[in-house]
Structure 1
Amino acid sequence: MTEPLDLRDPATGTGDAEGLRTTLEQMRRQTEHEIARLNRKLAEREYAMEQTVSSATERQAMQQELGTLRHSLGDREKTLDRITQECRRLENDLEDRHVQVDNLQQEVQRKEVSLKAAQDQVARLKRQLAEIQEQSVEISAMIDPLESPNRLPLPPVQPDIPAGPAPQVISFSAGLVSGLAVIAVAVVVFWGRIELPQLWSPSPSVPSAPTTPPEEPDAVTAVPATAPTDTPADAPVVPLPPTAPPAAPPAAPPPTLRDRLRDGSLGPTMVVLAGGSFRMGQNSMGGSDSGPEHEVLLAPFLIGAYEVTFQQYDRFVRATGRRFPDDFGWGRGERPVVGVSWSDAQSYADWLTRQSGKRYRLPSEAEWEFAAQAGMRSAYPWGFGMEPGRALCFDCGSQWDNRSTAPVGSFAPNAFGLYDTAGNALEWVADCYVSGYDGAPTDGRPRGDGNCANRVARGGAYNKPAPSLKTIARAKFVPETRLNSLGFRVAREP
């Protein structure tokens, strides 16, 4: 029997995810090679026993040796299983750390907003204080002549007038005293509000405004980026501690366009992407088919802002006389078309090409992942952790969870202005399915090697668990599969 695995650091006694990656991978490869060697040796011994063993004693000795080999093989396989489980545990630990980093970055952003609000408050109070000081100077100027020894004497008091100051002097003095009292109270109040310790304590974070429903797919205008509020010129500049640079999504969503079709109608809303280099996939020690991570360089292309809807697909069906796909009782209109095969999706793209004079097609797997990431390197389009109400899946916290698809654009878009890349309906892409990215194209072309018995789909669906919504997650189906959770979006050449 093999000894239990001890994967703790000998110096600290604790497991270090980063430090054990290389060791575990080497152990995994060595164990796999040893299992293969033992299998070959076992087969050779069985063959030799059948060919050369003549006596019962030799046969019994050979059988004992074969039993020992099988026992050793079983131990190796158990060791391999433990190594695989440990690899997956470490990957989960790393993902949890990514979530913690994402939460810390969000907390820093909230504190920056609070600090900006405090700076604005200080600037406003400074302006109000300056106004009060100006008013105090004006009142002082009014008081000085009254206290001057050279001022003219008051007229003598007549015997028939009761003793006491003149009504005008009483009125002026009362007004003056009242004004000074008001000013003094205001100064005390404002100085009481300007307490330095309170300026540095974070104010409660302001809840974000609810996301407004996105425009219908017929809209042609990209959603503008929110402009940052300018800092007042007289606000104090408070240095912040240096932080790691965040991911670099675009400052504003890319432009969109819609092609005019032959019948005068408009085609789908397309997002114009400039292409570029990005890291595709993810390294995994647990045998995932989304690795290894590799560099891909994409040429410019266009991709649909929305999944193709029933309304758009039904227009194609009426024009070509094809079969209408089932809506499964959920309604058609602006819901994503589902129940279509890979060939159906490709035929729709070919029809758009004929109608518009532009080359439409299904996106490659690399183009889809690039568009879904939108410049981020997080697990989901919005960050590393799952957040309720961000998308539609089996357990995403929406009103459609595990019930039906939702009208396209029901959730906020990613930084590129694409809707529903996470959830709602799975999306066919052009590639043939091959497990892993070894030998995959590095220029963004769809993968066509292998027998293409299966095609790739991306993006998760209303009835799939949250992890299937990750930008690296892959699914495979026979090309003629038609499911109530499987649709597509189109791409276009520039």
Structure 2
Amino acid sequence: MKAIRVAAIAISLSLSTLATTATTTTTASASGATANQQLKALKASLTTLQNSLTWQGSAAATYPAVDTAVEQTLTDLNRIQREHPTAVPQAGTFSKQLERLASEADYWVRVTAEPGYAPGVLDTVANVQAGLREWWTETGEIRRDLRKPSTVRPVHGAAPSRTGVDETARAGRVFSDVREKNALHMVVVPPGSYTAGATEKEQEIFGVPSARRHFERPQQEVTVGKPIAVGRTEVTVGQFKQFVKKTGYQPAQGMRTWLPNKDSLMEFRPELNYLNPGFPQTDDDPVVGITKNDAEAFAAWMSQRTGQTYRLPTEGEWEYVARAGSQNPFFWGKDVKDAGRYANTYDEDAYAANRFSISGSGEWPHVKNVRDGFPHTAPVGSFKPNAFGLHDMTGNAREFVADTWIDSQAGATADASVRHGEAPFVVLRGGAWNYQPQNLRIAYRSGYLSSETRTNMFGFRLVREL
């Protein structure tokens, strides 16, 4: 009888184990089905969002649907990230992107609903359409990569140069924190003060359009209170390629570009990228066609591998180091024709190769009787530096700064700290290889109403804190 009871207990335990196993399997299956259902819902939300990023005749008619769709997409993404943390490996990165789009859509809905709203110089039809195309591309890539793990690899420390540079270093010292090919070279810049913005007289002389003049005014006194180190040049193609190779980072695909013909438009061309911006470059040319987010990723990589703090300059810092003690329109003086020695501009060579124009406005003015031999970007450092020893502070590539767009100098921070606008729209400073004379001035400032903006004239340089 004892043997029978033991056998019965054993059978009971076996049945119990089988039941528990079956229940666990069923629960796991249900959980998996729920994750799959949530993924399906998220893909559907992303499809709706991507479809909403299509021009509907005006920003006011377009963005309410975008606003609704991006909020639903974020809700679905946050839910699956909370309940199934491994289902979308790059959920954190995607959330940050979509949160920026949500902020932008909210801005557009609010601003276009204001009484008397009318498009200005930054929210032209062409600009808004290009911004929509940038985000259409990004949302499509997010949907494509939902199940893919990040390609970014852990950062390894670089071979230190042991320079020991800190805030006691002498002004003008050139150094690098790493010993390698393509190393970033930084210049120590002393503290100081300057007057930000342009005078009315300067704007009159250079024919700044009335609709843009408030971008550069009113003038403000700004002080950079401690020394900083600034990139001697813009970050190059070779340096950015090294970053991508070592980290597995995937830069933005596609960019806006002016087409070289008699009726140019700033079009988004999805086939272009930083390795092919639509014209030939060397590894020593400034990298272009990248986003502000790409630039900040490069800065984070430099910080992680060196143990120092690298970042984009603030707008106040940028104008200070660009002026290098000058209050003239250009850091070299008042005459734009001297640009041939100091800046890669839209001169006779660039004009002959591109002949940019806008329908109804005629061809762009160029710097006449100046030839530098470069129809597009030039290798960094090809021209004379400013008084701080910094090359290409105007011309070659425009440069991203840390601030987000505010359309005037009113309220510019007196200590050159970062300013935050109503939405994460980008600010660019400095002229570029294809910029007309008035836009080579140090006071020139402009923004683009999309945080994903990239063009074949945008690049960046870095600041290193001391």
Q: Which has the higher contact order (CA 8 A, sep 6+)?
A: 2
Compute the TM-score of the two structures, normalised by the length of structure 2: 0.49
